[in-house]
Amino acid sequence: MHSKIGRWIAGWAGGAAVLLIATAAGAQTPPPPPPMGPEAAAIHECLCLQQSMDRAATVMNEKRRGLDAVHDQLARADAALDRARSTLNVNDPQAVAQFRQQLEQRDALFRRSNGGIVADVAAAVDRYNHLVAVYNGQCANRPMDAILKSQIQATLSCPAE
């Protein structure tokens, strides 16, 4: 009889130890987020769309600034060429070579201003406009519970883009 009680106590102590270890390990990882109801899921999606729109706007504006900078460089190069052309001595080979070099630099800027940079800006604008359209269709005039929105915003985690 003592052996049955001893085995029961040993089994109980072993089970308690496993439970204690599992509980300690579980305490180190955060609990999963509570399941979201439809309203919370919609608010979460709208907040993530807003984040995506903000990032897309930043990218779009950076690309536009880059294109504007190239256009400014091109305008300065055109102005410098106009000044050089008005005083160019066509009988001076060194002056003609210098003018041609300026013209090649201007042409390179022109190609750059009409090349991939324009496609990059257009793609960024398209992405931003698409996100705005999706946001407007799903979220723009949607009433949102302010308390629920602030709770979701406090722990917002959106999928990577």
Taking Cα atoms as reference points, which of 51, 14, 16 lies closest to residue 159? 51
Give per-residue pLDDT as tens, 87-133: 999 999 999 999 999 999 999 999 999 989 999 999 999 999 999 99
Tell me the domain boundaries of the chain.
1-31, 37-154
Residue 107 and residue 89: Cα distance in Å, rounded?
Answer: 21
- Taking residues 138-161, what's their average pLDDT? 90
Residue 88 and residue 102: Cα distance in Å, rounded?
Answer: 12
Q: How far is CA 36 from CA 47, 71, 86, 139, 151, in A?
A: 14, 49, 72, 17, 12
What pTM was computed for the model? 0.67
Residue 138 and residue 42: Cα distance in Å, rounded?
Answer: 9
